[in-house]
Structures are given as structure tokens and as C-alpha cells.
Amino acid sequence: MHEEGNSGCCCGASGASGQPEQRLGWHEYFMCVAHLISRRATCTRGHIGAVIVRDNNILSTGYNGAPSGLPHCNETNCKIYRSTHPDGTVEENCVNTIHAEINAIGQAAKHGVSIKDADIYITASPCIHCLKVLINVGIKTIYYDKPYKIEHIAELLRLSGIRLVQVSAENC
């Protein structure tokens, strides 16, 4: 039986004002995907998602959590270690957790997907360790939503030529 109207259909969708909803641009789209992926994260300290993209196609995704088959922090306790940066600031990380960027790179490698010359969308700017790996795998541009200790990665960004671009995810 055919029903009249658009109820339940995405075609002709309207926003609260009755106007057609604005289509997301590519940057917003991929950042929204990264935020959705971050909801799979098992880290109790922060949920981060990453999407590796080339030519507007998703190549790989990742979120922060324990290696496959091992206990996650939301199932056990975090095992925190501290490291000191040359400027004296102390950073805390979890022994159990693999960061979202590294998981996305690992997924690409596991499935034989080249990510050279790709871009990455991350819900937070990368830590210095992830940035070093992103440099080595050939990522060209890092798009991020929330800043995370950008002062620690500024010099590596300058030397590597990788672009760091903030993209808001307020429409997600």
C-alpha cells in the first residue's frame, strides 16, 4: 500500500525551519564519520576516531582501544604511564590503548590498502607519536576537530610539510 507524503523518507527532508537541509561538505562529512567511529572507542579517558581518505573515498578507519582480542580499559583498569617532554610538561598515556590514527593505519595495512598521499580526519589533533607515524606513511593533510597539545607537534609539522587544518564538527 502506497502512503502519501515523505514520512520516513530521506528524500525532500526539511530542517526545523521547513527549509531543505543543507548538504554536508566533504570535510564536514568525513569529520562527522570520525566522530561516529569514535563512539566505538573503549578508552575511558577519551573517545577518538580517525578516517583515512583519498579522493573523497574512505580507505580506513580507527578508534582508540586495546589490540584485538585483548582486554579493553572499559573492561579492566587503565595502566597509565607518564612521560616528560623536553619542555618539562608531563603527559599521561595508557599502556593498553592504541590510538585511533595507528589503528586506522593498521587496518589499512591488514587489508592491503595503500594510504600514501591520503588525508586523515581525526576528532582531536594527533599526539607527537602518532604524528611521527603519519609522516612516515605519507599522509599529506591532517584534519582535526579539537586541539590536543598542538604546541608539542608544531615543529614536526613545520619540518615535515604536513598540513594541519581544523574542521568543526558542529553539524554532526
Catalytic residues: 101
Nearest by Cα to 100 from 76, 133, 74: 133
Here the cell at position 59 is: 580507505
- Is 27 annotated for ligand binding? no
Beta bridge partners of 163: 141
Beta bridge partners of 79: none
**Dihedral sign for Cα atoms in the order 7, 9, 15, 19:** negative
How crowded is residue 3: how many other Cβ atoms within 10 Å of its Cβ? 8
- Is 47 annotated for ligand binding? no
Residue type, 111: H
Nearest by Cα to 33 from 42, 45, 24: 24
Place of cell 585483548: 70
Q: Rounded CA gap, 60 and 102, in Å?
A: 11
- Is 99 annotated for ligand binding? yes
Residue numbers in the known binding site are 99, 127, 130
Residue numbers in the known binding site for Zn(2+) are 99, 127, 130
